Each structure stands twice: as C-alpha cells, then as structure tokens.
Amino acid sequence: MIILDTQKDYKKHINLLKSQGEIISLVPTMGNLHDGHLSLVKIAKKKSSKVITTIFINPLQFGKDEDFTSYPRTMSQDVDKLQKLNCDILFAPKSKNEVFNKIDNLKNLKAGPKGNILCGKIRPGHFDGVLKVIYMLFQLTEPDLSVFGVKDFQQLYLIKQMAKIYFPKLKIISAPTIRNKNGLALSSRNSYLDKTSMEIAPVFYKILLDGINYLKNSNNVEETVNYITTNLEKNSFLVNYVSFLNAELEKIKLNTSDKKILLSSVKLEQTRLIDNVEFS
C-alpha cells in the first residue's frame, strides 16, 4: 500500500492511475478503523481496480465543544488493517492545508435545510463541514465511485445530493451497517464507552427495532416516537431525537410500501450514539 500525506504527492499518484485507465474508488474515513470501515474497503475492492482510503479527522465538522482533540487516533493499527485488505493507496493528509487549499471556493457549499434537521440540529454547521471535506476529496481524487455507510444516513443523503450537482458521473455506493454480536452499530466513538456503558449501548438498537414493531401495531407515529423516547430514557439514554422519515428525509406516509427509516441519536454518559433502521 502506498501511503501519502501531501496533496502534491497524492495528485501525482492519481494522475498516474488515471493515465493507466484504472477504475478508482474512494473510501473517506476519520480513522480508528473498525470492521464497519473495513467492509466499505471490501466493497470498493470488488467494484474497482484501485482502492483509495483516506484518513483525515476533519476539523470543520466538529463543533467547538466537541471531541476533535480527543478523537481516537490509531494510525499504525489502521495502516496494518488496510494493508491486510490490500488497499492500494492510503491518503492521510498531514495537515488541514493538504486538503483545504482552496477553502475560499467552498464558502458557498452548504448542506441546506436537510442539513439542519436531526444531527444537524444538535450539531450546527456539522454537515457543511462534512460536505466541504468530501467535496475536496472528490475534486482531488476524481474517483469513479465512492463508498459510504448507511449508518450515517443523513450524511449519506447529503453527500449524494452534493455529488449529483458537482460530480454527476460519480457513483455513490451505500454500504450496510456492521454491528457487533449484540446489535450495537460499530463506531469509532464506541471506544469512549466504559464497561457498564458498553453493556447498555446495544439496548439502543433493540429499542429501535421494538419501536418499528410498535408503529406497525399502533399506526401512530407520534405515539410511537413517545413510546421509543420513554423506553430509551428508562435505559439511561439521553434522547437527542427519534424520527420516522422517508428516504428523502421527509415525513413518512403510513400504509404505503415506501422505504421508511427510523433515525435516532442519543447520549450515553458523554458519548453520542447514532443509529437508524430501514423498514417498509
């Protein structure tokens, strides 16, 4: 695996791959890689001839009281994991300037109204920051495809919308959520959980699944949201939001076969967990 940390070297390698007619896939991450991230690399491997993973903890997507400084940094373990999967290139920019040298061009890149609901409501500006880094990575890499996890459903939705406008030829691939054996969605932030919280955390997903059954019986969204919220609170979760939306992040219509998603974010002690479940 070739490891690069400057934009100049990265661009040089990209140009080489392009001149060789390679089909390039891009897997953007913030590192501290777990099996969820690795599943994206495996999907990318199947669908392209060269896989690029990026590891960059993007300061623009962290609020000022958030965990930018304490976010887990595990570069040498991450390199080992990517090497085992035969990832072709790791781009790990050594500083913000290796990504955002054209930040002025990005001033107008905004996630818009759908970036201000759900996680965007509790993390103002978060999705503007996400879109800026992904825009830059797409522009530098010009990949044929890029793989993102459904785990971050709202992020995936907003990236798809942005790509449609600015990178119309790029294929965005959605990858399913990888969970541990108790159902807890893998996340780099799970490493913040102590032993007791690790035992409680899987209950989050179980309550969401139970909530979907409740909706099917009650046929009442508001009552179900209250039911789920109460259940989460009873189990020590502080609820940020519980929301039933369709694939366009709009209000769901019951009694249709449309895809529906139950999305939620909670805090357990100081750790934010997000998850979602699709159903029809």
Site residues for ligand AMP per CB under 6 A:
29-30, 36-37, 39-40, 148-149, 151-152, 175, 177-178, 185-188
d(CA 136, CA 132): 6
**Smallest separation (angstroms) from ligand AMP to the CB of 186:** 4
Catalytic residue among 13, 34, 37, 126: 37
Angle between helices 7-19 and 126-141 (to 10 degrees): 50
Nearest to ligand AMP of 112, 176 (CB atom):
176
- The helix (run of H) or strand (run of E) holding residue 225 is helix 221-234
Q: How far is the CB of 242 from ligand AMP (least distance, A)?
A: 20
**Nearer to ligand AMP among residue 153 and residue 244 (C-beta):** 153
* Strand-pair partners of 179: 185
Least gap, CB of 227 to ligand AMP (angstroms): 26
- Of 122 and 221, which has the nearer Cβ to ligand AMP? 122
CB of 110 to ligand AMP, least distance (A): 20
Residue with smaller CB distance to ligand AMP, 141 or 188 = 188
Exposure of 65 in the CB half-sphere (CA atoms within 13 A): 5
DSSP string over 28-97 = EE-SS--HHHHHHHHHHHHH-SEEEEEE---GGGS-TTSSTTTS---HHHHHHHHHHTT-SEEE--SSGG
Tokens coding 257 = 């076969």
Q: Active site includes 34?
A: no
Measured between alpha carbons, how far is 189 from 71 in angstroms, rounded to an integer?
8
Strand 260-268 and strand 145-149: the pairing is unpaired
Q: Which residues have a catalytic role annotated?
A: 37
